[in-house]
Amino acid sequence: MASYDTTQEYINHHLTNARMCSTEQGIAFNKACEDAGFWVWHIDTLAWSFLLGFGFLFLFYRMGKKATTGVPSKTQALIELIVEFVDDNVRSSFHGKSALIAPLALTIFVWVLLMNLMDLVPVDLLPWIAGLVGQYGFGMDPKDVYMKVVPTTDINTTFALSIGVFVLIIYYSLKIKGIKGFTKELTMQPLNHPIFIPFNFVIESVTLLARPLSLSLRLFGNLYASELIFILIATLGYFQLPLHFTWAVFHILVLPLQAFIFMMLTIVYLSLACEDH
């Protein structure tokens, strides 16, 4: 593991994404991307997100093909439990008619949960492995090799998820209510009089835009704070084990809860978008 001169340097290294960008000289990485502007790719976030997403799809697909009506395996029983749990929540919270909502809710819950669970991996393990690969494979200084393994501690991930939900909210609002109905919803509520249209539009627009914003910031804030606490505990050296174990046990409850909240708010928002009255 690379040695750091100060605790602040150690913390900053663990909270920095592996970045890739395009410059006039070609493809650049990490520190060379500091002045690259908006188009910087967080390649560790993308890699772990896609890896966990494809792993989730592959596992559920394989178990769906191998599912039996007899005595199920432990993996099949776990997947059936998750599917039934999500389906029950969709049935109780979504009041419209759409074949997309249940699969969407299942995907959001499992994918966000898997990304959150990466927070339980020891904070030094995967960055240390990445540093070894960079040092012996590419001749890099381990301090210049970055690896953030919890995608939901990257605000780009949480905003991308919430923007996807926001697009679906707009889509279902227009599909169910039509352009006229959706426009009326934005301009004639809560005060149903033409004179209040500007006031209503501002209030309803803020409410509409606050939904993806709250979705993304809630998930990001909780996971970023949790990861930071794990990193601070790791700075204690050999004295970290009791605190690390205690925080990890508590965190086992927090991580599924955050995935559940993200899923439930998505269902509720889409249910509101599908109400035509």
Q: Which of 12, 73, 192, 214 is catalytic?
A: 214
Answer yes or no: 192 catalytic. no
Answer yes or no: 214 catalytic. yes
3-state secondary structure the chain: CCCCCCHHHHHHHHCCCCEEEEECCEEEEHHHHCCCCCCEEEHHHHHHHHHHHHHHHHHHHHHHHHCCCCCCCHHHHHHHHHHHHHHHHHHHHCCCCCCCHHHHHHHHHHHHHHHHHHHHCCCCHHHHHHHHHHHHHHCCCHHHCCCCCCHHHCHHHHHHHHHHHHHHHHHHHHHHHHHHHHHHHHHCCCCCCHHHHHHHHHHHHHHHHHHHHHHHHHHHHHHHHHHHHHHHHHCCHHHHHHHHHHHHHHHHHHHHHHHHHHHHHHHHHHHHHCCCC
Q: Which of 92, 218, 226, 271 is catalytic?
A: 218
| CA distance between the termini of the chain | 60
Q: Which of 162, 222, 226, 271 is catalytic?
A: 222
Answer yes or no: 93 catalytic. no
Tracing tokens 């070609």 back to the chain, one arrives at 26
CA atoms within 13 A on the CB side of 143: 9
User: What amino acid positions are annotated as catalytic residues?
Assistant: 214, 218, 222
